[in-house]
Structure 1
């Protein structure tokens, strides 16, 4: 602050000196008004003066003016009152701070009770999800004796919880309904999302992974696929994680399936980390699988294609029979046979009473399921005929049952149908053995991929291709249904020898077609010959004669992963000569990985190889097991569940082992509650204040 003046024709400037603030503690000023004021008088005084209203601006007499004002009674009175006021202001600040602390403490105490309570519905969701039990009942009102498993289980949890939790829920129940479907569905989503995040982190840390994709028709007949991802985690354990069910009813072309799969695994850097792909749509997707795996190969060149060996056998049987008209008609009739009984209690009761066993179900994606139907028809031929005769003669049978029974009974009076039942019963007795071996869910390298086992099956079928064997089948068929005297083939009546010769040709055609399809479907097994490097049953042999061909095959498939082949060969040589590896059975092959994990820094190339081999789905595809879970889950689910809820709830069941691990090793409940709290429209405080 400053003031200009004039004296004897001279202009001068008087400026404010900062030391005046130190000398007069009460002094204050305004740079806008360019004047000085007294702070105590400005705040407290009710009397008007230059020091609290107009402002003092005589900078030439500041010292004298300040001394005069400082000695006035009004200033002394105001200074004392101002000092007292400042003391009171400190007290108010302290009070406000204390009240704020008390509020935060009370708020956080309430949040703690809310979070303790939220564990109860989370536990209820986990229990029902893991056990695959129904969530909702038909009548969920207060007066219902059974309001559904979720409500009843939550009520029980609340009733046995500590008294403070019970009392707390009574207070919040008016604004937070823990047993509502919305809350249950949101918790299901939170748990599923938590599992997904953990799996994402695991895959991010692994070196490589493979994908296994299969499709199935759910209980509402909607085509869908599910995706399993397989890898060795950072703890050296082989794991398979369920990524979800996906609706493919609108488009099942290779382009659509490629887009679906790649969109789901894009975040996993699949172009460099995907080493194996297995797409098993069985007969339904046979025309698209080759295109799909080629598209994947273009994006991830190191991703070897492994078709599930059991599904290859499905394709063998399906395509063989589709190529022969009589066989295609035969199996159309056979697969329709179980549907006559299923979902019809009266028909099923008659069948159970006479046959004393249930009729097997035909599964579209599992061609070998027809084997069970053929076996039952072949073994219970007379009893099954009796069932349809009983239905026809029963006066209480409806017209549809009588009409369909008559049509099926005509089949049982047809020689050709009886003969084909005998032929395929014989064929299935051979292929079922191979199918059971291929279906074994283990890393059994010999059984899963051994060309020897497949060749043996092919040889057994070829051994059946002789007139003597056919004659036995032909005679058994003629016992079931005698050959008509005037057997006609078109316009021509055939003799007994001509009839025999006609069906012998058909019999040979069936066997030749199946044998040829085996060659087609299993011809490329040698492309993954490198997996035999992990065949413990041959380690002693390898110690004397190193499997160079298999190592070269590995180099051809994964040149970017195994760049130091000389070191890998030395490490394998050491393993092949070590007795502790030779004593491991094939069904315990993962023990090799466990041992190598402990020495992974020393045998780094070998550990990398064995992890890669077990990552590739070299035997049957485990993803199929999840569909039984889907059926059970969807059977129990309330109609209000969306498709996302079905996937998320199924994930809780399928990944129950992982879920148990997360509950023990992670701050699981706190994390789920935090996720739940982050959702919109929360009426209950769940996040602590700091």
Structure 2
């Protein structure tokens, strides 16, 4: 058989057969052409659908609406994007008219089920690419943190850090793991199983980083220690931004004056934001391009700098609006009473002074916190940032700095004396 296949006669016969087939055609030539056209048609449809899915997924936009039908205004971003594309694409427009709302049992490649399958295929491809890059880099570090979902379900975020071929540090999110629990033994099992599922060897892990919770970075039986039992070469580095956030919040909460200041600052934002009428009056009085009032951040303490900044920059305008609302007899008595209370709190040297002080402190804290969250930051840079922040705060404690803030407060507020000095001192009966 081999001698026959390699012979000149057999090769000549095969060449004649191919020439005859191309010249005369085949019996099922029409079917082949029809099948190729059909394949090309659905490939073009899939190419457009995948482009829409990729664009929405990259930007983190929702896909679904209240109804998934073409021609409705309350359809989701997925249907809306296809309709928008169809306005300039006659091919897709004709396909939507022919197969758009036919329902189940009809092939259209436009349904939510196909969309979910495409998302799943893309996700697997992305994860596969990330895992390949990690294996090429060989050594990696892991980041793990748990946070409640909007549906009040605890989930664990799993992130891997490695060095790319261009010798640049890269951080990649791998997945969310729901119902992870809070115990260290449960979390370490999830971490090891996740690495095993993606065929990543824990022996190649060289770093781990978590927040300062006792189950993550405690002294003995935490996640850090349990990972080190599996691989002694895994170096633990605490999250640099999280301790800074804790130190700042705990330092502020130990002082009653600071607690009162931030409570009044949040109350001021609530007073204006709860009413569109009051918010409109405030916007009209603010300077052009100045920041509006901001709410206090509950999770990131350093982000409160935006709230202090908006009050510090627009102090006179905000006090003027409070006076207008207090004296406006067309307002409700409760509104005028609330505005009067806020005005009495803020239009004083006791509130103007901490506004200027916290504005500078939180602005510095916020900048340092953002720098600490950079991907390219090094440990030596972290130490320098901490050291510079300590020096800055120690400089504020000097008497000369206090006098400087006091002069700024008097110049901004116009009040010369503290409320304590203006109080009538009680006289003891003789």
TM-score, normalization by structure 2: 0.70
CA 1:203/1:372 → structure 2, altered by over 3 Å: closer, same or farther? same
Q: Distance in 2 between matches of 1:402 and 1:386?
A: 14
Q: Distance in 2 between matches of 1:154 and 1:206?
A: 40
2:112 alignment counterpart? 181
- The answer to whether structure 1 residue 409 and structure 2 residue 343 are counterparts is yes
Q: 1:275 offset after TM fit, Å?
A: 1.6
SS of 1:211's equivalent? strand
Q: Tell which deviates more after alignment, 328-337 or 352-361.
A: 328-337
Q: 1:125 offset after TM fit, Å?
A: 0.9
Q: 1:370 offset after TM fit, Å?
A: 1.7
Whether the 8 Å CA contact 1:335–1:370 is kept in 2: the answer is no
For residue 314 of structure 1, the aligned residue among 216, 232, 245 is 245
Whether the 8 Å CA contact 1:146–1:152 is kept in 2: the answer is no
1:468 alignment counterpart? 400
1:483 alignment counterpart? 418
- In structure 2, runs of 5+ residues without a counterpart are 1-25
CA 1:153/1:312 → structure 2, altered by over 3 Å: closer, same or farther? same
SS of 2:56's equivalent? helix
CA 1:157/1:334 → structure 2, altered by over 3 Å: closer, same or farther? closer
Whether the 8 Å CA contact 2:86–2:92 is kept in 1: the answer is no
2:51 alignment counterpart? 123
- In structure 1, runs of 5+ residues without a counterpart are 1-97, 495-690
Q: 1:245 offset after TM fit, Å?
A: 4.2
For residue 324 of structure 1, the aligned residue among 229, 232, 255 is 255
2:162 alignment counterpart? 231
CA 1:315/1:493 → structure 2, altered by over 3 Å: closer, same or farther? farther
Q: Distance in 2 between matches of 1:135 and 1:424?
A: 42
Please report the RMSD computed on the Cα atoms of aligned residues, expressed in angstroms.
Answer: 4.4
Correspondences of 1:96-175 after superposition (within 5 Å) = 110-111=38-39, 113-133=41-61, 135-136=63-64, 141-144=69-72, 147-155=75-83, 157=85, 166=94, 170=98, 174=102, 175=106
1:370 alignment counterpart? 304
- The answer to whether structure 1 residue 458 and structure 2 residue 390 are counterparts is yes
Q: How far does the alpha carbon of each residue in 1:239-270 deviate from its partner, in whole angstroms, 9 at most, with x for none?
A: 3222234567x955656655554443343545
1:198 alignment counterpart? 129
Q: Distance in 1 between matches of 2:353 and 2:390?
A: 22
- The answer to whether structure 1 residue 290 and structure 2 residue 222 are counterparts is no
Q: 1:318 offset after TM fit, Å?
A: 1.5
Q: How far does the alpha carbon of each residue in 1:443-464 deviate from its partner, in whole angstroms, 9 at most, with x for none?
A: 4565x33x34433332332233
- For the pair shown, the structure with the greater C-alpha radius of gyration is 1
**Which of the pair has the greater relative contact order for Cα pairs under 8 Å at 6+ separation?**
1
- The answer to whether structure 1 residue 386 and structure 2 residue 320 are counterparts is yes
CA 1:473/1:207 → structure 2, altered by over 3 Å: closer, same or farther? same
SS of 1:368's equivalent? helix
Q: Distance in 2 between matches of 1:243 and 1:400?
A: 52
Q: How far does the alpha carbon of each residue in 1:657-682 deviate from its partner, in whole angstroms, 9 at most, with x for none?
A: xxxxxxxxxxxxxxxxxxxxxxxxxx
Q: Distance in 2 between matches of 1:423 and 1:288?
A: 36
Whether the 8 Å CA contact 2:195–2:202 is kept in 1: the answer is no
Whether the 8 Å CA contact 2:62–2:76 is kept in 1: the answer is yes
Q: How far does the alpha carbon of each residue in 1:608-662 deviate from its partner, in whole angstroms, 9 at most, with x for none?
A: xxxxxxxxxxxxxxxxxxxxxxxxxxxxxxxxxxxxxxxxxxxxxxxxxxxxxxx
Whether the 8 Å CA contact 1:117–1:169 is kept in 2: the answer is no
SS of 1:243's equivalent? strand
Q: Distance in 1 between matches of 2:112 and 2:201?
A: 37
Q: Distance in 2 between matches of 1:399 and 1:332?
A: 23
Q: 1:229 offset after TM fit, Å?
A: 1.4
2:358 alignment counterpart? 424
